[in-house]
Amino acid sequence: MKPLDALVQARLVQGPVPAAEVMALGLYHPEHGYYREPEGPWGFEGKDYYTALDLGPLLGQTLALRLEAAWERLDRPPRFTALEPGAGRGWLGRDVLNAVSGPFAEALVYVHRDDNPAARRAAEEALAPFLASDRARFAAESESLEPFAGAVFSNELFDALPAQPWRWEGERWTREVLTSAGPQWEAADPGEAGAWFASQTDGLEPRDGSIWCEILPEVVHALVAPLEAGLFLTVDYGESADRLLAKGADLRRFKAHSVDGKWHEDLGAADLTADVDFTRLAGLLEAEGLRDLGHLELSKWIRTHAPLDQWGAEWMALPTPVRMKRTENLLQLTLPGMMGSRFRVLEGWKGKAV
Ligand SMILES: C[S@@+](CC[C@H](N)C(=O)[O-])C[C@H]1O[C@@H](n2cnc3c(N)ncnc32)[C@H](O)[C@@H]1O
């Protein structure tokens, strides 16, 4: 029996285990969690899942433009720190650093923050030239950062936080748990989660349900606390709270390029994710002092901020295979059936007004 299965079996003797606890164990158990195993392969290499970064540099190139606009809005400070929590292999940072030039490139320092050891090794390789020239550095999740002006950005961080599915059964709330007979829904008091869900709809219908991430407030606080002034930006999949409720909740398992609902299987050897409640995330950011908050589909964000005409003209000069890859990358990020409408980008601003 695998170590995490044995741990869960032992825990099940005491009674059902909430799905969020199983997810926390599967991803973050200090030795055997999917994001804590010292050795890969995981993610794309392990054929479990891919993120926008596996598809090409366009997300990073667009992000680089948003970061430069934030630098301008801050009146071009000599140091612009861009912190990336959940940075994984460091590919987004690498793509940003490759895309910038001139005085902004001189001001930009990229900080990779993610205690995932296998991803960190990949990041050391991806960021090597930037680490050597002090344009990038690593920060442990426990490191307390000096206040800085700049940005906090992330890709698929919030969907990787342990989350609990809840469902409204008409008269009572139930939560998904693991029992020795498999996953089940059991009646429980949703507390703060129930009040939040009820506040986000005109009336609950049977089978409405959503996801509740208990640690979201503390994670949000830790991320934005050191940001004195600048941009907060996150890319993730999810919806506004009312749409999530209407859609119903689930946890997903990514394994070998397929996705299913078997969140309790292959613990430690499969990725687990949950939709992000963008309404709640925006509310928590507002409570932390951020403003101008808004989120939109990735496709719209790309079309709003990427200089597509200019890129199109530049791509004409590229060798055909590279040009085709760029086009494919753009389609993946913008087509509704691909990442375009499943992913959203949330932006907010902290500190100095324009
Ligand atoms: C789904 S992966 C995304 C990795 C990368 N951003 C990408 O797009 O390929 C989520 C990552 O978030 C990291 N993570 C989870 N909670 C975190 C936190 N509080 N601070 C920093 N990283 C965190 C995990 O270790 C994992 O590597």
Q: Write out residues with Cβ below 6 Å of ligand 1.
A: 35, 51, 53, 85-89, 113-114, 116, 119, 141, 155-157, 160, 219
Please report where in the chains the tokens 């909430």 appear, as a residue: 18
Ligand 1 atom 17: the closest Cα is on which residue? Answer: 86
Mean pLDDT score, 60-82: 98
Query: Which residues, 6 or more positions from 337, have their beta carbon under 8 angstroms from its beta carbon?
Result: none
Predicted local distance difference test score (pLDDT) of residue 41: 64
Q: pLDDT at residue 232 above 90?
A: yes
Query: Which residues, 6 or more positions from 77, have their beta carbon under 8 angstroms from its beta carbon?
Result: 71, 107, 149, 150
Query: Ligand 1 pocket test: which of 32, 127, 138, 157 has the largest number of ligand atoms within 8 Å of its C-beta?
Result: 157
Query: Which residues, 6 or more positions from 145, have their beta carbon under 8 angstroms from its beta carbon?
Result: 83, 111, 139, 226
User: How remote is the CA of residue 142 from the centroid of ligand 1, in Å?
Assistant: 14
Average pLDDT in the chain: 93
User: How remote is the CA of residue 84 from the centroid of ligand 1, in Å?
Assistant: 9
Measured from the Cα of 219, ligand 1's closest atom is 19
CA distance 162 to 190: 16
pLDDT, tens digit (0-9, with 9 covering 90-100), for 21-58: 999 999 999 999 999 988 766 666 666 667 777 788 99
Quick one: CA dihedral 189, 192, 193, 195, positive or negative?
positive
Query: Which residues, 6 or more positions from 294, have their beta carbon under 8 angstroms from its beta carbon?
Result: 282, 346, 347, 348
The DSSP code sequence of 82-145 is: EEEET-TTSHHHHHHHHH--HHHHHHEEEEEE---HHHHHHHHHHTHHHHHTTSEEEE-TTPPP
pLDDT, tens digit (0-9, with 9 covering 90-100), for 146-169: 999 999 999 999 999 999 999 999
Percent of the chain residues topping a pLDDT of 90: 83
Predicted local distance difference test score (pLDDT) of residue 2: 82
Ligand 1 atom 23: the closest Cα is on which residue? Answer: 86
CA gyration radius, the chain: 21
The DSSP code sequence of 14-77 is: TS-EEHHHHHHHHHH-TTTSTTT-SS---TTTTTS---GGGG-SHHHHHHHHHHHHHHHHTT--
Of residues 103, 93, 97, the one with CA closest to residue 71: 103
Q: pLDDT at residue 353 above 60?
A: no
The domains of the chain, with CATH numbers, are 52-159+214-238+271-348 (3.40.50.12710)
Predicted local distance difference test score (pLDDT) of residue 43: 65
Our CA dihedral for 28, 29, 31, 36, rounded to 10 degrees, sits at -10
Other Cβ atoms less than 10 A from the Cβ of 320: the count is 7
Ligand 1 atom 1: the closest Cα is on which residue? Answer: 156
pLDDT, tens digit (0-9, with 9 covering 90-100), for 167-196: 999 999 999 999 999 999 999 999 999 999
What strand order describes the sheet that includes 258-260? 258-260, 251-255, 271-274
